[in-house]
Amino acid sequence: MKAGNGKRLLINEVATRDGFQMESRFIPTDDKVALIDRLSGLGYARIEVTSFTSAKAIPALRDGEEVMQRIARRPGVVYTALVPNVRGAERALESRIDEFNIVMSVSETHNLANLRMTREQSFAQLTGVIALAKQAGVPVNVSLSCVFGCPMEGEVPLAAVRGWIERFAALEVQGVTLCDTTGMAYPTQVQALCEGVIAGHRRMDWTAHFHNTRGMGLANTVAAVEAGIRRLDMSLGGIGGCPYAPGATGNVATEDVVHMLQCMGWDTGMDLDGLIAAAAELEVLVQHGLSSQVSRAGHRLMRHAPPADFNDIVARAQARGQKELHP
Ligand code: COA
Ligand code: ZN
């Protein structure tokens, strides 16, 4: 779908990582592979397939290698995975990942809760991962958690966010994802923060990652795009959340975000009808209702039939009109 303004957005699906890590039911490996294969044909720039984390920390994704090995890789789609440490990077390399999505939090408390390391310990691990990636010629994106606030610390100082960005920029990572881990971001904050960091590093690939915990996810997405963000993480059906962040709920839903952006004239490259159909499949897989809205309501121009007695209504209205004209 070509938009009038010619502006392209790159859409990243995270349902099979951010989403499945939060599901209480283990999604069978066959179903993960089938879903990813289906999503691969819908226009995504990037699919976060899994994470290479400890099976104790994230049991839902303990089959990362098998999933990576069995999916059909569609040319043009980047298949990425979340990597917290050198052990994870070794596993990701063996799985011939297209990109490392390394992760740490800008909040010390959340980093300790989620990754069991201080931020400095995480940075040391991730420095090792970046060295490995350079040797192997694999690009690196860093996902920074809690950029817009921490559920345990509250506001995270902007200086801390900027400081971690500078340290990763110095290591020449290709991209940075600004993660709103528990939906604490609000639109004016998003706009100011995104504009500021983009101005500091124009050649960095910036991505925004919003959770809809407080209903601000779509507004935050618009704010980020207006600030110049062109890559967005989102999750089919709005599933997702960090199991080690209190109060975490799902990501912004892919079908809701794509629908909104397409209405606004953005070229997302995505097949919206395909997304809605895939969301119906996902609902069966996770065995609970989804929080997304467009998967239920359909496209804004989806036409509904008038009421069953519509002809009677018209006839009565016409008869009333005749009486009024000729009393
Ligand atoms: N993949 C698989 N196993 C790993 C691993 C990885 N990346 N990193 C460590 N392990 C294993 C170790 O081999 C060790 O196994 P053993 O008990 O059989 O000897 C065990 O996990 C503990 O290792 P340790 O280095 O002490 O890790 P830890 O317990 O301090 O946990 C992390 C650190 C980072 C591995 C763990 O907290 C983690 O995976 N967190 C991810 C959280 C997450 O994904 N959150 C949501 C996304 S934001
Ligand atoms: Zn997330």
- Regarding the beta carbon of 54 and ligand 1, being less than 6 Å apart is answered yes
C-alpha 181 to ligand 2 mean position (Å): 5
Q: Is 242 a catalytic residue?
A: yes
Atom of ligand 1 nearest to the CA of 61: 44
pLDDT for the residue 177 = 99
In a domain, 181, yes or no: yes
Residue 213: other Cβ atoms inside 10 A: 21
Q: Between 92 and 323, where is the model more confident?
A: 92
pLDDT digits 0-9 by tens, 1-57: 444 455 899 999 999 999 999 999 999 999 999 999 999 999 999 999 999 999 999
In a domain, 3, yes or no: no
Phi, psi of 6 (to 5 degrees): 65, 10
In a domain, 243, yes or no: yes
Contact between residue 110 and residue 245 where contact means Cβ atoms under 8 Å apart: yes
Report the nearest-CA residue for atom 10 of ligand 1: 54
- Regarding the beta carbon of 52 and ligand 1, being less than 6 Å apart is answered yes
Tell me which of 146, 179, 194, 242 is the catalytic residue.
Answer: 242
C-alpha 130 to ligand 1 mean position (Å): 18
Write out the residue range of the structural domain in which residue 91 sits: 10-325
In a domain, 245, yes or no: yes
In a domain, 111, yes or no: yes
Tell me how far apart the alpha carbons of residues 49 and 44 are, in angstroms, rounded to a whole number: 12
Structural domain total, the chain: 1
Collapsing DSSP to helix, strand or coil, 31 comes out as: helix
Tell me how far apart the alpha carbons of residues 119 and 241 are, in angstroms, rounded to a whole number: 20
Q: Which two tokens stand for residue 178?
A: 């600004």
- Regarding the beta carbon of 73 and ligand 1, being less than 6 Å apart is answered no
pLDDT for the residue 322 = 87
In a domain, 279, yes or no: yes
Helix axes 187-200, 158-170, angle to 10 degrees: 30
In a domain, 31, yes or no: yes
Q: Which two tokens stand for residue 159?
A: 């200086």
pLDDT for the residue 6 = 58
Q: Which ligand is nearest to the CA of 87?
A: 1
- H/E run at residue 104: strand 99-105
pLDDT digits 0-9 by tens, 188-242: 999 999 999 999 999 999 999 999 999 999 999 999 999 999 999 999 999 999 9
Report the nearest-CA residue for atom 22 of ligand 1: 54
Tell me how far apart the alpha carbons of residues 64 and 82 are, in angstroms, rounded to a whole number: 10
pLDDT for the residue 325 = 81
- Regarding the beta carbon of 21 and ligand 1, being less than 6 Å apart is answered yes
DSSP E strand boundaries for 168-204: 175-180
DSSP of 45-89:
SEEEEEE---TTT-GGGTTHHHHHHHS-PPTT-EEEEEE-SHHHH
Q: Which two tokens stand for residue 46?
A: 């990037």
Residues 139-151, mean pLDDT to the nearest whole number = 98
C-alpha 151 to ligand 1 mean position (Å): 22
pTM for the whole structure: 0.96
Collapsing DSSP to helix, strand or coil, 195 comes out as: helix
- Regarding the beta carbon of 182 and ligand 1, being less than 6 Å apart is answered no
Residues 135-162, mean pLDDT to the nearest whole number = 98
Domain containing 102 — which CATH number?
A: 3.20.20.70
Residues 108-125, mean pLDDT to the nearest whole number = 98
C-alpha 18 to ligand 2 mean position (Å): 5
pLDDT for the residue 327 = 77
Residue 151 in this model has a pLDDT that exceeds 50: yes
Atom of ligand 1 nearest to the CA of 56: 21
Phi, psi of 79 (to 5 degrees): -100, 115
Best residue among 22, 53, 112 to mutate for probing ligand 1, ranked by most atoms within 8 Å of CB: 53
Label residue 323 exposed, middle or buried (CB < 10 Å: 0-12, 13-18, 19+).
Answer: exposed
Atom of ligand 1 nearest to the CA of 18: 47
pLDDT for the residue 5 = 53
In a domain, 215, yes or no: yes
Tell me how far apart the alpha carbons of residues 202 and 19 are, in angstroms, rounded to a whole number: 30
Averaged confidence pLDDT in the chain: 97
Tell me how far apart the alpha carbons of residues 26 and 24 are, in angstroms, rounded to a whole number: 6
